[in-house]
Amino acid sequence: MSITVNIDPLTRIEGHLAIRIEVESNRVVNAFSSGEMFRGFEAILKGRDPLDAQQITQRICGVCPISHGTASILAQEIAYGVIPPKNGRLLRNLILGANFIQSHILHFYHLAALDFVDIAAITKYKGKDPVLRDLKAWVQSELSSNVIYPATPFLPRYSGEYIQSTELNIQGIKHYLDALDMRRLAHKMCAVFGGKLPHATTLLPGGVTEKVTARKIASLKSIIKELQAFIDNSYLSDVAEVALDFPEYFRIGKGCGNFLAYGVFPESADNSKKLFSSGVVIGEKLMAFDSTKITEDVRHSLFSSRSGLQPSEGQTVPSPHKKGAYSWIKAPRYNATVMEVGPLARIMVDYLKGKNRKVKDLVNGLLARLGKKPEDLVSTLGRHAARAIESKIVADKCAEWVEQLTPGQPVFRDFTIPETGRGMGLTEAPRGALGHWLEIRDYKISHYQCVVPTTWNCSPRDDRGNPGPVEQALTGTPIVDIKNPIEATRVVRSFDPCIACAVH
Ligand code: NFE
Ligand code: MG
């Protein structure tokens, strides 16, 4: 007989996610992922000036706003027939690159690491660092108090196996604090040409509105150097340390094994060459991506709209009391197939394509260091490894893009908004493939649909009853103690869910 375990809310992610698992003989045999609220951005956009879209859609999220702004701009650029000049494209890559780095560092250190690093180890700290000493006193008092919900972001937590070495734990805690500074720096990097963060003001169809100056280039260069050093010296090695201590997580949380990437960071004017390429992996076979194969099912989602529509025709009609539905997240599918999106999907596509030398070298280097094979990447730890590797590739590329900027050259090409038009903006957010579909009638937005990374990953069952990627990844996970299902939270957090985005 199975025992039902509810993890609601699942904390240390963005937004409100409820996970229900059915456990039999200490193993998950069935799992359900539910997005717990509806937001309605697609309805809010209808009837608005199309130029509002990149500002309004950035408000879908404070973690990946630049990706939403970018998807919106790409959709509009198709509708307007405009492409940015070289400076505009480079600036957009730098703004988006900074946002990727910020988001990945946030995820590993502030959301996921405390599933592995033992925060209680700080009570054994004997050094003189005043911040760590303060933290020690704080955690000590929280651990000894009877308060059920202490004020720290660290407690309460599930008990379970954490890293054993005090030294490694304290290093992890120190890097947790360092990572706060790195996130601030990455936000600053974003703001140099984005105007401000979290929601950049300078993104516009046709380019950006911020001019390139030698002073701004210099400021960006010094920030990028610091971020590169942190990724090289801390992030990559901390992920490797976790991997060495928890090798079983290269087998746990494998998921559907199918991957989808739209590609991102254009390196040519027509968008044809990108740093990370588009592609589809189904059953280890790499295929070309075809946007017409994307549909969204809603049989088990709280919407009364027609199921299985392509986003260009998609509808979002909330139906809070719908029978048989258990989530506000739709179920996007590619050719009716369940797909995982995110850093692992991007890395898998480029690894299998074999043309991106840096992806191949970094993946092979890390696998050799850990004594793992490429197929082990499809796992909980593989997702963390892919995110860290991607952070390095993006930061190193930012250092190259900033050198290619030309002060005095245009950053923007003008356009006119047509009376009618359509556009599809496909890009990647830190959490995976992101698409916005736009239609204009009478100079106003008449149709807007977003299909978002976490909508793919945390989707409920589709019309055929197939569970979504997170639901599939949970099935088979060992649960040692049903009162402390830490193993399940590790699997879910490896996807870096953002439910605020998923339910948009
Ligand atoms: Ni709200 Fe977002 C997601 C990312 S969406 S964080 O899902 O990355 O684009
Ligand atoms: Mg949508």
Q: Distance, CA 52 to ligand 2 centroid (Å)?
A: 18
The position carrying tokens 């960071």 is 265
Going from the C-alpha of 262 to that of each of 277, 286, 293, 305, the distances in angstroms are 7, 13, 13, 26
- Interatomic CA distance for residues 62 and 202, integer angstroms: 16
Stretch 200-206: mean pLDDT: 97
Residue 151 pLDDT greater than 70, yes or no = no
CB of 472 closer than 6 angstroms to any ligand 1 atom: no
Name the percent of the chain lying above pLDDT 90: 95
Q: Output the CA torsion 316→317→323→328 (10° steps).
A: 50
**Mean pLDDT in the chain?**
97
Main-chain phi, psi angles of 214, to 5 degrees: -60, -35
Does the pLDDT of residue 363 top 80, yes or no?
A: yes
Residue-level pLDDT at 154? 82
Per-residue pLDDT, 153: 77
Ligand 1 atom closest to Cα of residue 429? 8
pLDDT for 88-147, tens place per residue? 999 999 999 999 999 999 999 999 999 999 999 999 999 999 999 999 998 888 888 777
- What average pLDDT score do residues 148-156 get? 73
Question: Cα separations (Å) of 148 from 137, 143, 154, 280, 458?
Answer: 18, 10, 13, 46, 29
**Cβ pair 33, 470 in contact under 8 A:** yes
CA distance 264 to 64: 14
Structure-model confidence comparison of residues 148 and 306, the more confident one: 306
Residue 150 has pLDDT above 80, yes or no: no
Give yes or no for residue 215 having a pLDDT over 80: yes
- The answer to whether the CB of 17 falls within 8 A of the CB of 329 is no
Q: Is the CB of 63 under 6 A from ligand 1?
A: yes
Binding site membership of 499 for ligand 1 (Cβ less than 6 Å): no
User: Nearest-CA neighbor of 54 among 200, 211, 210?
Assistant: 200
Identify the nearest ligand to the CA of 436 by its number: 2
Token pair of 387 as six digits: 């995110």
Q: How many CB atoms lie within 10 A of CB 371?
A: 11
Name which CATH class applies to 3-145+164-502.
mainly alpha
pLDDT at position 149: 67
Assess contact for 342 and 457: CB atoms under 8 A.
Answer: yes
Length of the chain: 504
Atom from ligand 1 closest to the CA of residue 497: 7
Per-residue pLDDT, 448: 98
- 453 in contact with ligand 1, CB cutoff 6 A: yes
Residues 6 or more apart whose Cβ sits within 8 Å of residue 375 = none
Q: How far apart are CA 503 and CA 40, in angstroms?
A: 8
Q: Is the CB of 107 under 6 A from ligand 1?
A: no
The answer, yes or no, to whether any atom of ligand 1 lies below 6 A from the CB of 502, is yes
What is the arithmetic mean of pLDDT over 464-487? 98
Residue type, 385: A
DSSP state of 306: P
pTM above 0.85, yes or no: yes
Average pLDDT of the residues in 424-446: 98
What's residue 147's pLDDT? 73
Is 152 a residue whose pLDDT tops 90?
Answer: no
> In terms of DSSP H, where are the helices of 247-372?
343-353, 357-370
What number of H helices and E strands is found in the chain? 15, 15
Q: Is residue 361 over pLDDT 90?
A: yes
For residues 479-502, one letter each, b for 16 or more C-beta atoms within 10 angstroms of the residue's C-beta and e for the rest, the string is: beeeeebbbbbbbbbbbbbbbbbb
| pLDDT score of 168 | 98
Which amino acid makes up residue 297? D
Ligand 1 atom at shortest distance from the alpha carbon of 68: 9
Q: What is the pLDDT of residue 271?
A: 80
pLDDT tens per residue, range 5-23: 999 999 999 999 999 999 9
Supply the DSSP string of 449-463, one letter for each residue: EEE-HHHHHT----T
Q: Is 405 in the pocket of ligand 1 (CB under 6 A)?
A: no
Ligand with an atom nearest the CA of residue 343: 1
Tens digits of residue pLDDT in 371-395: 999 999 999 999 999 999 999 999 9
Ligand 1: which residue has its CA nearest to atom 9?
Answer: 429
Asked if residue 445 lies in contact with residue 456, where contact means CB atoms within 8 angstroms, the answer is no
- Ligand 1 centroid to residue 317 C-alpha, Å: 22
Give alpha helix (H) positions in 27-165.
41-45, 53-56, 65-80, 86-105, 130-144
Q: Residue range 230-243: average pLDDT?
A: 98
Whose atoms come closest to the Cα of 14: which ligand?
1
Domain range annotation of the chain:
3-145+164-502
And the tokens for 213?
């100056």
Q: Tokens standing for 164?
A: 């054993």
